[in-house]
Amino acid sequence: MIKTTSFEIAYHQFLQPNGEPSGGLPPLARDTDTLHALYHNMVFTRLYDERAVNMQRTGQIGTFASSLGQEAIGAGVGHAMQPDDIIAPSFRESGALFFRGFRVRDLLLYWGGDERGMSNPDVGDDFPICVPISTHCTHAAGAAFAVKYRNEPRVVVCLIGDGGTSKGDFYEAINLAGVWNLPLVVVINNNQWAISVPRSMQTKTETLAQKAIAAGIPGIQIDGNDPIAVRHHVAEAIENARHGNGPTLIEAISYRLCHHTTADDATRYRSDKELEAHRQYDPVPRLRTYMTQQGIWSEEQETQLQTDCKTAIEQEVQHYLASEPQPPESMFDSLYATLPGELESQRRSLMGKE
Amino acid sequence: MIKTTSFEIAYHQFLQPNGEPSGGLPPLARDTDTLHALYHNMVFTRLYDERAVNMQRTGQIGTFASSLGQEAIGAGVGHAMQPDDIIAPSFRESGALFFRGFRVRDLLLYWGGDERGMSNPDVGDDFPICVPISTHCTHAAGAAFAVKYRNEPRVVVCLIGDGGTSKGDFYEAINLAGVWNLPLVVVINNNQWAISVPRSMQTKTETLAQKAIAAGIPGIQIDGNDPIAVRHHVAEAIENARHGNGPTLIEAISYRLCHHTTADDATRYRSDKELEAHRQYDPVPRLRTYMTQQGIWSEEQETQLQTDCKTAIEQEVQHYLASEPQPPESMFDSLYATLPGELESQRRSLMGKE
Amino acid sequence: MSDITMIEAVNLALHHGMEHDPAMVILGEDIGINGGVFRATVDLLGRFGPERVLDTPLAENMIAGVAVGMAAQGLHPVAEIQFMGFIYPALDQMVSHAGRLRNRTRGRLSCPMVLRAPYGGGIHAPEHHSESTEALFAHIPGLRVVIPSSPTRAYGLLLASIRNPDPVIFLEPKRVYRLMKQGVKDNGEALPLDTCFVLRPGSDITLVSWGAMMHETQLAAEQLASEGVDAEVIDLATIKPIDMETILESVGRTGRCVIIQEAASTCSVGSEIAARLAEEGLMSLFAPIRRVSGYDTVMPMFRNEKHYMPSTERILQAVKETLEYA
Amino acid sequence: MSDITMIEAVNLALHHGMEHDPAMVILGEDIGINGGVFRATVDLLGRFGPERVLDTPLAENMIAGVAVGMAAQGLHPVAEIQFMGFIYPALDQMVSHAGRLRNRTRGRLSCPMVLRAPYGGGIHAPEHHSESTEALFAHIPGLRVVIPSSPTRAYGLLLASIRNPDPVIFLEPKRVYRLMKQGVKDNGEALPLDTCFVLRPGSDITLVSWGAMMHETQLAAEQLASEGVDAEVIDLATIKPIDMETILESVGRTGRCVIIQEAASTCSVGSEIAARLAEEGLMSLFAPIRRVSGYDTVMPMFRNEKHYMPSTERILQAVKETLEYA
Ligand SMILES: Cc1ncc(C[n+]2csc(CCOP(=O)(O)OP(=O)(O)O)c2C)c(N)n1
Ligand SMILES: Cc1ncc(C[n+]2csc(CCOP(=O)(O)OP(=O)(O)O)c2C)c(N)n1
Ligand SMILES: [Mg+2]
Ligand SMILES: [Mg+2]
């Protein structure tokens, strides 16, 4: 006797690489404000990344991870979230973090080696940047439980990379989200590389979205360089979760047009040819072309946007550069709610008082 | 634009619970020796379990995990393996271990709190029993790499429980096995409980076999109380792996007709009704009925088998009971290939020589 | 007030916490309808429901990580790891996140969680069921580690841990879960998380221990008393932070110290106490410090575990050598 | 023989191992075509091919577990964890299996593997890239822990670790990966895995350190020499087992000891050395032992990391206090 159970994974795209619609468009494709917001965020992020990479070169910050080429994911995710939702970011989603209220100065502080980068109270209870890959997936699930427990209409969005999907934390978290029906959306930035390890060496699966099947939750694959697809499908998943329909896994296919970080030299392991071939999928010109064709974007607006972003970023950079380091003893001061006695003396000795 | 990818998980059964074929049968269903071997192993294991549970009650061994009701899995897996293959067991597969050369005295030593239970050189490089759930999945993958690396025609078989599939180790191991195309077969004993946690609270998936889709490897579900299905499909997966076709995940559906271990009281969390309802799926009478209908099993053979098994087990029990404990200093003697100097003095002090 | 065992005291404290703190939830493997493999969580599911008493899938890393996420969002999760031998997958979350969340965000977020686990040997359990690796957590900044040794201290210290605004590893010496009964008042009174308990004042020698080994340590002290040796017995109780003041004061008076622990000796909590004595109390010592520890071997399987765990005899032997030192 | 850095010495030892031992394989994240994020494995893929130089998926627990499985089946895996901050998911496998396989099977199976990781701070890296948690592994029975502090010792100790029949945690102080060059003979000669290295004989005080802190320790010793203080400088090198004989002999002569480590102080390797001195060398001490350690705080992000790591000044201060003690 043989019975079978079937599963499907769909791939979605609205805008082709050349900016032409690839079929029916969702309502947001006609919503100028949304399109402008997405575009603004992408341009802003790209300029911020460029500036930050330069700052690293001149020693003004430390190792930095750009999101060049992947801006549609941060923008789409950040814009799809409601203010009260909660983000559990990895480290490559500056665009999403800007939507959440993180400022350039916060991120520069963080990459500049200063804990205050994650302390901005305006970002509410959003999680800080998470460096150990995939470990924040379970935090996101725990947070999703917390909001569900309190009957709050909030959703948690967790961002990870393609490499991150190989780690047990990821599976454990989506499995729990499935069985507990948690309001969680996990978005994979499949930029096709985990430092030097290509997507094909991470896993044998045809898609990363199908990993959802192991958790019994919906999984979809989207063109992660199509800001409309990201915004639309992430919002749909978020609203699903908000209405009690449980978690979704979204694989957003993109490409890392930059080095892994400023500490990396991708030319060691990646051909120029491959890199160049992917430039045509760049999300920024894609949305710009679409908006131009829709008659909602002009050269003047572009120029203005570039100027505005640069000015805003520059102001933030100056803020950052003017920041005094924290006093050395700050390493003791947020460690516990109340410093245990045994650390008082270590603190004093650090301050040269003993 | 929408594209879709599809996946299927099949369920296989050859013998119905009442012992009647449920469709076409594989060749082994006509192979008397194989059927006898499977049946012998199942009966032996059941009698061993019974004896061991009693020994625990009288303090002759410690906590013990019976495989009552799940004997078809151990038997089918153990018989499907070639001598040179490698098993990475969990702790509930005594039947498979008997096929591998572990003796009753070995297992009693182990459950009696004596490391020598896992030292029998006749079991070659089979892995020892693994207590921390799922942690041996990666060992199995590593072993599978080793045999592949040396071009040996060997396959590694890893056994875990339904609860074990929630743990990251499991996913990480099958993911690696997929992408490295390792000769690995992972068999899940889905006995529907992980101590008190029912299968439905482990995961939302319809099957456990579909977790294979997350690793891009074949997954099938079989009736784990049908010894013919287990033997056939495990052997098929093993031979596939042996011929370079990579790993398979097999979910064998069974039911834990016993307490979790002797330390557990399943009546606290499981209804008698549920338990009783599952007795009809018992693999032992199922195979016996089939063999009787085939005219290859008689009352006399049954009586003889019971007597033989009991005698053999009893001899082993006596062996175990006669075993002297290891000397206390044995805790030092297999810790390292050569004992570091600093431990020499600890060893001497244990022996009262210092 | 009734006489109860340590495991009942743990259960009582959990009930008290759940009763008074709607943000508290309990999670772990088999902690629901089964009431925990040691019965620590018995009746909680019935009383507080499956929204607050959460049987999880089998994944310790996940349990710890989910607790971190809950705690970051204002809940007070008390997570159980079934045995300390299975706590290692949870260590990453405790080291990398639980102990850092407050610091990393300069206080914007915090992590008020408790990770409970039965620990230690002596119950004739299978492999991996007898670990005493409290030192791993004691080494980690941002964590607290607490180990009770009696029903009253279990109750008071667990309540304190539940209310603590930072992550606490709460290790329960399962060998003494049911060894003794004490009258425990269910009055919600917590004990301090930074103070040793002097169980027996004495002037000749200081014995420091914690967890199940308090039992042998106290037996040794009684034996010594009958031989005219007046031992001071200290229950460390809070492993991190360590209340060195009490220990230094005591050793300042007795001049001799034996530290008793079940754990392997190297880089252990006993090492830390000895090191601090060597740094801060050296000149009051009349004799070398002695550690009586488990050996630096894998805890043997149970047929031989008694040879691993410090016995009253080993303690007495060390005490005598310390007293006789000249 | 050419002058090379420590990272080059690591690479050289890996090459030598691969060349002479067909059972050796290398695995980890980005260790193939990329040659490792620190270039430790550069050229190995090209020379030995993808069958033996294995870029893995991103999962440290898996890397360790797969290495255990390989080792159990006769291979000699050398696995890299990219940074020690990501080693915690691998700890379960090292504690529960690598350190126990031989013991569990009474020698039927064994686990000849090496787990390499760069460790320590001082390179202005992001969070989690500056850990010094060697004590966690040093506490675990069945493991060995090795930390080189110079190119020659990196070469000799890594070769010894590769050939060792038991699991070795090999931690590389990345801050000094490129700090100094030494002439390293690629002659395949291993160094012992149970012996300290006395880098500078001296009679006034014993300084014990390891890893990157050897640098500051040696600077301190030079400074002291210029002030007429003759410090003996010991590179611990093998963290587990500890060669106490050499240390005790030294402290027996000098009567004073300062232990310098980058790690947090509590339950650290420094605690262990201090404890053993307090047990076995107490009466030769003229002054309290001093540990100069990282604080028991999370290593600050890099803007402030210099305040965390022991400086030459802090070492000198501790030495002076120890010398002046009366
Ligand atoms: C647990 C862990 N292991 C290793 C690293 C080092 N590391 C940083 S990023 C990275 C690759 C991540 O790849 P992916 O998940 O695809 O994210 P991407 O960088 O491409 O955005 C690695 C290995 C880490 N941060 N955490
Ligand atoms: C990592 C780990 N966590 C917890 C346990 C305690 N424990 C032993 S068996 C078990 C349930 C296992 O369930 P399953 O995987 O379905 O196997 P089964 O016992 O049903 O054969 C648990 C939680 C363990 N051994 N290892
Ligand atoms: Mg990536
Ligand atoms: Mg089960």
> Which of these is catalytic: A12, A100, A105, A256?
A256
For residue C62, the CA-to-ligand 2 centroid distance in Å is: 15
pLDDT at D286: 95
For residue C271, the CA-to-ligand 2 centroid distance in Å is: 34
Distance CA B20, CA D111 (A): 48
Q: Which residues pair with C2 in a beta bridge?
A: C184
B339 and B312, same structural domain?
no
Distance CA B216, CA A204 (A): 5
Residue C104 with chain D: CB contacts under 8 Å? 127, 298
Rounded to 5 degrees, what angle do the CA atoms D80, D84, D87 make? 75
> Which of these is catalytic: A92, A100, A139, A260?
A260
pLDDT at B354: 53
- Domain assignment of residue B283, yes or no: yes
Distance CA D225, CA D259 (A): 18
pLDDT at A354: 54
- Which of A71, A133, A158 best tests ligand 1's pocket when mutated (most atoms within 8 Å of CB)? A133
pLDDT digits 0-9 by tens, C99-133: 999 999 999 999 999 999 999 999 999 999 999 99
Of the listed ligands, the closest to the CA of C56 is: 2
**Given a cut of 80, is residue B353 above it in pLDDT?**
no
pLDDT at C176: 97
How far is D167 from chain C, CA to nearest CA, in Å?
14
* Residue percentage of chain A with pLDDT more than 90: 98
pLDDT at A2: 82
The answer to whether the Cβ–Cβ distance between C291 and D277 falls below 8 Å is: no
Of the listed ligands, the closest to the CA of A133 is: 1
Please tell me whether the peptide bond between C77 and the residue prior to it is cis, using omega within 30 degrees of 0. no
When CB atoms are compared, the residue of A86, A135, A145 closest to C97 is: A135
Asked whether D97 and D72 are in contact (CB, 8 A), the reply is no
When CB atoms are compared, the residue of C33, C62, C302 closest to B196 is: C33
The answer to whether the Cβ–Cβ distance between A168 and B171 falls below 8 Å is: yes
Distance CA D254, CA D198 (A): 14
pLDDT at D50: 98
When CB atoms are compared, the residue of A6, A201, A203 closest to B216 is: A203
> Which of these is catalytic: C16, C76, C97, C129?
C129
pLDDT at B257: 98
Residues on chain B bordering chain A, Cβ-to-Cβ distance under 8 angstroms: 1-14, 22-23, 166-169, 171-172, 175, 178-179, 181, 200-207, 210-211, 213-217
Mean pLDDT of all residues in B308-329: 98
**Where does CATH 3.40.50.920 sit in chain C?**
197-324
The answer to whether the Cβ–Cβ distance between D125 and A346 falls below 8 Å is: no
Residue C91 with chain B: CB contacts under 8 Å? none
Please give the order of strands across the beta sheet that includes D205-209: D197-200, D231-235, D205-209, D257-264, D290-294
A342 and A253, same structural domain?
no
User: pLDDT under 70 in chain C at which residues?
Assistant: none
Q: Is D86 in the pocket of ligand 1 (CB under 6 A)?
A: yes
Q: What is the residue range of B142's domain?
A: 11-323
Distance CA C115, CA A231 (A): 38
> Which of these is catalytic: B139, B154, B256, B288?
B256
Show the tokens assigned to D204: 């006034």
How far is C52 from chain A, CA to nearest CA, in Å?
8
ipTM of predicted complex: 0.98
Number of domains in chain A: 2
Show the tokens assigned to D99: 């350190």
- Domain assignment of residue B5, yes or no: no
Q: Which atom of ligand 1 is found nearest the CA of A135?
A: 1
For residue C18, the CA-to-ligand 2 centroid distance in Å is: 27
pLDDT at C326: 76
Rounded to 5 degrees, what angle do the CA atoms C291, C296, C298 make? 135
- Domain assignment of residue B6, yes or no: no
Residue A115 with chain C: CB contacts under 8 Å? 103-106
- Domain assignment of residue B304, yes or no: yes
3-state secondary structure chain A: CEEEEEEEEEEECCECCCCCECCCCCHHHHCHHHHHHHHHHHHHHHHHHHHHHHHHHCCCCCCCCCCCCCHHHHHHHHHHCCCCCEEECCCCCHHHHHHHCCCHHHHHHHHCCCHHHHCCHHHCCCCCCCCCCCCHHHHHHHHHHHHHHCCCCCCEEEEEECHHHHCHHHHHHHHHHHHCCCCEEEEEEECCEECCEEHHHHCCCCCCHHHHHHHCCCEEEEECCCHHHHHHHHHHHHHHHHCCCCCEEEEEECCCCCCCCCCCCHHHCCCHHHHHHHHHHCHHHHHHHHHHHCCCCCHHHHHHHHHHHHHHHHHHHHHHHCCCCCCCCHHHHCCCCCCCHHHHHHHHHHCCCC
Question: Taking CA atoms, what residue in A is nearest to D59?
Answer: A167
The answer to whether the Cβ–Cβ distance between C126 and B63 falls below 8 Å is: yes
For residue D46, the CA-to-ligand 3 centroid distance in Å is: 24
pTM above 0.90, yes or no: yes
User: pLDDT under 50 in chain A at which residues?
Assistant: none
* Residue percentage of chain B with pLDDT more than 70: 99
**Where does CATH 3.40.50.970 sit in chain C?**
2-184
- Domain assignment of residue B2, yes or no: no
Residue A22 with chain B: CB contacts under 8 Å? 1
- In words, the CATH class of domain D197-324 is alpha beta
The residues of D annotated with a catalytic role in the active site are 129
Distance CA A203, CA A221 (A): 16
Distance CA C93, CA C3 (A): 37
pLDDT digits 0-9 by tens, B227-260: 999 999 999 999 999 999 999 999 999 999 999 9
> Best of A92, A162, A195 to disrupt the D interface by mutation (most D CBs within 10 Å)?
A195
CATH of domain D2-184: 3.40.50.970
A350 and A249, same structural domain?
no
pLDDT at B1: 74
Q: Is A316 in the pocket of ligand 1 (CB under 6 A)?
A: no
CB-based contact (8 Å) between C61 and chain B?
A: yes
CATH, residue B134: 3.40.50.970
Of the listed ligands, the closest to the CA of B196 is: 2
How far is A66 from chain D, CA to nearest CA, in Å?
14
pLDDT at A353: 63
Q: Which atom of ligand 1 is found nearest the CA of A132?
A: 26
**Given a cut of 60, is residue B104 above it in pLDDT?**
yes
Q: Is B130 in the pocket of ligand 2 (CB under 6 A)?
A: no
Mean pLDDT of all residues in B13-28: 96
For residue A5, the CA-to-ligand 2 centroid distance in Å is: 28
A346 and A222, same structural domain?
no
Please tell me whether the peptide bond between C241 and the residue prior to it is cis, using omega within 30 degrees of 0. yes
The number of angstroms, rounded, from the C-alpha of A3 to the middle of its chain's C-alpha atoms is: 41
Active site residue B242: no
pLDDT digits 0-9 by tens, D36-48: 999 999 999 999 9
Residue A115 with chain D: CB contacts under 8 Å? 300-301
Torsion sign over Cα C55, C59, C64, C65: negative
A234 and A192, same structural domain?
yes
Asked whether C175 and C212 are in contact (CB, 8 A), the reply is yes
> Best of D82, D92, D303, D306 to disrupt the A interface by mutation (most A CBs within 10 Å)?
D303
Torsion sign over Cα B294, B295, B299, B301: negative
Asked whether C58 and C109 are in contact (CB, 8 A), the reply is no
Radius of gyration of chain B (CA): 21
Residue nearest atom 21 of ligand 1, based on CA coordinates: A161
How far is A233 from chain B, CA to nearest CA, in Å?
12
Q: Is B189 in the pocket of ligand 2 (CB under 6 A)?
A: yes
Active site residue C215: no
Query: How many Cβ atoms are within 10 Å of C196's Cβ, its own excluded?
Result: 21
pLDDT at D2: 82
Per-residue burial over D98-134, b = 16 or more CB atoms within 10 Å of its CB, e = otherwise: bbbbbbbbbbbbbbbbbbbbbbbbbbbbbbbbbbbbb
Residue A50 burial class via C-beta count within 10 angstroms: exposed 0-12, middle 13-18, buried 19 and up: middle
How far is B75 from chain A, CA to nearest CA, in Å?
21
Asked whether A102 and A87 are in contact (CB, 8 A), the reply is no
